[in-house]
Structure 1
């Protein structure tokens, strides 16, 4: 019950500032038509309700199951299985990510259909999946995060010199949208679960940084698309 109260308070504190600013602008500067303003207020209620239900679902569903899967996999003593499950979960969670779908839809509209929505979604999901699998290997073998980040971003900047210019900003936006409400809780919980079993006391330092790694994958994937389309 306390978790529900805390979540409700968190949602209210998140929504109130933007609502207050819009209402202030409505009566001072903007003066939107009444029907548009009422649509905004209805939207606020719907967004608040949806966000509240989503966060409840994350706490009672996504986080526990992600951490449980992560803590169970190492007990199989099969590195390939841990990496494969990380790859599959990284892919399917990203396909379900709302932010990715919004970005891909807008890009399809702007490009007049030249860049297909589904092609972009699957490319981004594949990039996340590869780097989640790589993050699993990092946790298993204790590889330092800085070297993987350095290598990943070095590849990004090198590849950006050979890709179509339109794809460079799209690629970095793709890296940003994968840090959304579906992907981050599940991937973090998975990493914490794996690291808590394999790395013991250093589980915190080994599990965090996983999202930073996962966000490199979509950037590289979209840059590769740029090379292909270019």
Structure 2
């Protein structure tokens, strides 16, 4: 019951400020038609209900299962299995990520179908999956995260000089949308679970963090490579 109350407070804190701002703007500046305002209020209510149910599901299911998978995998003592599972889960949660689909749909519409939503979603998903696997490699072999971050962003900035300007903008947005409500809880729980088993003390379980920041480089590089192919 306490979890339900906390989730309700989180949703209210996320939805109410936006709703209040829109209502204030309605009566001061924008003055939308009454029908449009009602559509917004109904939509905000639906978003609140959906977000509430989603967060309950994340807390009850995704986070515990992700962490349990992360704790079970190292016990197999098979590095390839840990890395491969990271890849498959990264691929699956990115394809299911609502934010990725919104971005892909917008780009498909703006480009008039020249960059299809399906190709963009798969590119982002494979990019993130590869870097989730790389994050598993980093945890297993204790590679300092700043080496991978510096190398990854050097590759991003180097590749950006060869990519059409439109794809540079799209690629960084693609990196942002992968840090959405579907991917973050599951991947983060997986990383913390793996790190907590591979490390002997509780403080070193914090090495599971940084996984999202590292993984988000993958979609950026993937879209830039797609941009090179589209030239």
Q: Which bin holds the TM-score, normalised by the shorter protein?
A: over 0.9
Residue 31 (structure 1) aligns with: 31
Secondary structure of 2:165's aligned partner: coil
Residue 215 (structure 1) aligns with: 216
Q: Distance in 2 between matches of 1:36 and 1:131?
A: 42
Any residues of structure 2 matched to 1:1-230 within 5 Å, and which? 1-201=1-201, 202-230=203-231
Task: Report if the CA contact (8 A) 1:67-1:189 is conserved.
Answer: yes
Q: Distance in 2 between matches of 1:19 and 1:74?
A: 45
TM-score normalised by structure 1 residue count: 0.98
Task: Report if the CA contact (8 A) 2:192-2:206 is conserved.
Answer: no
Q: Distance in 1 between matches of 2:56 and 2:108?
A: 33
Secondary structure of 1:162's aligned partner: coil
How far residue 31 of structure 1 moved from its aligned partner, in angstroms, is 1.4
Q: Distance in 1 between matches of 2:135 and 2:119?
A: 24
Structure 1's consecutive aligned runs of 4 or more residues displaced over 6 angstroms after TM superposition are none
Q: Distance in 1 between matches of 2:230 and 2:204?
A: 41
Q: Distance in 1 between matches of 2:113 and 2:55?
A: 34
Q: Flag structure 2 segments of 5+ consecutive residues without an equivalent.
A: none
- CA deviation vs aligned residue, 1:63-104 (integer Å, no higher than 9, x gap): 000000000000000000000000000001000000000001
Q: Distance in 2 between matches of 1:104 and 1:224?
A: 16
Q: Flag structure 1 segments of 5+ consecutive residues without an equivalent.
A: none
Q: Distance in 2 between matches of 1:114 and 1:68?
A: 42
How far residue 200 of structure 1 moved from its aligned partner, in angstroms, is 3.1
- CA deviation vs aligned residue, 1:169-202 (integer Å, no higher than 9, x gap): 0000000000000000000000011001002324
How far residue 205 of structure 1 moved from its aligned partner, in angstroms, is 2.8
Q: Distance in 1 between matches of 2:197 and 2:9?
A: 34
How far residue 153 of structure 1 moved from its aligned partner, in angstroms, is 0.2
Q: Distance in 2 between matches of 1:39 and 1:61?
A: 32
Q: Distance in 2 between matches of 1:137 and 1:100?
A: 25
Q: Distance in 2 between matches of 1:64 and 1:200?
A: 21
How many residues are paired up? Answer: 230
TM-score normalised by structure 2 residue count: 0.98
Q: Distance in 2 between matches of 1:6 and 1:44?
A: 19
How far residue 124 of structure 1 moved from its aligned partner, in angstroms, is 0.3
Q: Distance in 2 between matches of 1:85 and 1:191?
A: 11
